[in-house]
Structure 1
């Protein structure tokens, strides 16, 4: 249980769209602000924001905690004895009444270890609403963990019984088994709002896929294919009888349209991309995949696409997604990858020559040896950047099948002797930075990922220096 006081409330302004929140907080800056698309708006007008009051009793405030990786908001702390005492309902009502008197605007009722059955949790919310003095002056909030796979069900049951703020995370990321998933909660309320008493969220659901992809890229936490709403298989139909039904009427096996969440069906346009494809075809295909990219980002991505298309006969959707991750979802550039040349094999020591371009346009070249081509290339990068780092994680996967598949690389690094992050428990931890890269050459893919992670680290340090000077 946590009681939020006014100065700790950190909600987004109701006039800010959800996409803009994600773009701002994840440092993704489109080069052009696009006018609204001509599709129907799939969100409702949100009531004006008041911390402790919602004018429309059917409106549910969605409180996205993704950027805290699912941690609970700061709140009151209690001793072991107080936690045992609060298990007694009458004492719970009493202490909640006291924090309301103290000025709390939101009462957060969590299922911290994900142990509650939906009926239990819903009844808890109903009892708190019925028995807590002054409850009409605050908002009841929920924060449900997914240890038994019931976080979404518990969250919805809480909303049905009176909670009007729901703490959720995009893709359900969070501690242990994760938190209630934003997309599952929002789309369930959208699809079944009538059975929930007419509840609505005001979320524009067409931004769900894009937000999911951005969180996946920045967190490095891959969405499982069978994840509800945003998984790769969520709208795939393989069974013969299902395919027959879909061809006759999509509503036969789809309770929602993929377009409702910003996903446009692959190949509906009949486009097959190759080396002769132009910018317009690339942009249309990207839009099918949920990416609305234009301006400089589209131009940079187009030339990366052309370089890959020269070596592959057909560019798949997965290839494009990997290229978008490598070219668009990147931090502010301090060092730009230029070239890399390696020599390796069983007859001698692996060597690498790397060229990086600094943000002022100057080129820097360095050579190094290593236990393999990637190790040699990373050491050459270190000689140029001169920012000691530790490589914590390195992983690579083939984006598609075949000898001409793109390689997608992800690395996690930490600056040496850097202990600037404080965990919720008070423990000092080294801050980590991730980077992704994609190329048909595994060494190039690896170097791109490494440089991307270093750029994140240097960007944070530069911003920290600027803040200290202000």
Structure 2
């Protein structure tokens, strides 16, 4: 069975506190959503501002494959604003729960129903596709909800939507009212679930099991309060899990899920929590010795799906929970192959660091291995040939960087909010083009006091394929130390890539 994916990242997602998107940013996200394969994009709420209208107009003129929709309250002004933006599809809504009618709208049930019918008829009279939402449906009197949906269907609505506006429903109840709505309207039904109790995806799936044809979702589950049903979680659950023997299909290119998640996260400025399903940093990360041993023998032992299915790669972490097999596999990525006795010595040192409450990075692991093996196996593909920075009051920090990559010199320059930012931006200008590596995380710590304090910089870099490497540098000068850490990280990730290519070619 095919499920329609209605993405509201640009409307409900933008209502996340602290998020505001320019017209150009809206367009760039819409293009990514279209590439991802969503069926419909709710581009915004046209009546709220001129900038919102500009963004929606850019999207409607972009020639995207997805249907483009705009939100409108049940009044002619809102619907006219949508028409002026070139929209052919509106999502119109009015609250139907008694608490909203009494305290927000100051209306009777009959008045709200009349407004709903009027809006649907007005939209249809202007040649629009109309999807009607009964806001706060899950707290609406069940008999009245069925009556509202029945009447808007008679008025000509093309679709109806059941919004769980404050995430108040349970999977069982949303299934029941979904069946009510299908019976009352004979129309395609959507479910729009919020995550206030952490049940948004579960509720959306339950609605679909009960016959809903469409789910309203957002990338990374962003939205007001606790957010909306997460597109990536819903899509992968429908595709991979068995529900009474039934599987559902969507038009989503799942291999673009992680890339789209990162793009939206960076653009809206909301970091994805590490333990978030599918797209969280830790979703395919393993430390426990028991887990890594299982993963190395057969990934399905501790991974329900292949990370490549969603554009990810798995990664292993060393620490107090690590085992011989995981450490051996990590060292092998760098071409380091200790004996069993040497591996045990390395593992003992790793566990000792972990027992002190410290995280063991790849840098420490390789340092420990080098110490025990008395060798330095990492080839430096990228060499820092020179760099300089200039900064001061009244002038924007500027950096010049010269790198030698596999014997070829490259030069990069850039400005930044500070000298470190400028230097790292200049490096990324070179490595982003040549090696497709970018800085993912940057952490600065002071490890001694006084005027001659030492600083410690830890970075994590990532390539275009999701491979990650970390590095650390210690020094007196923050800029120099930061640059050295980044170069070290780039070398490590490129060395990993080189070894993988050799293995594939052998």
- With normalisation by structure 2, the TM-score equals 0.44
Question: Greater share of helix residues, 1 or 2?
Answer: 2
Asked which structure has the greater RCO (Cα within 8 Å, sep 6+), the reply is 1
- With normalisation by structure 1, the TM-score equals 0.47
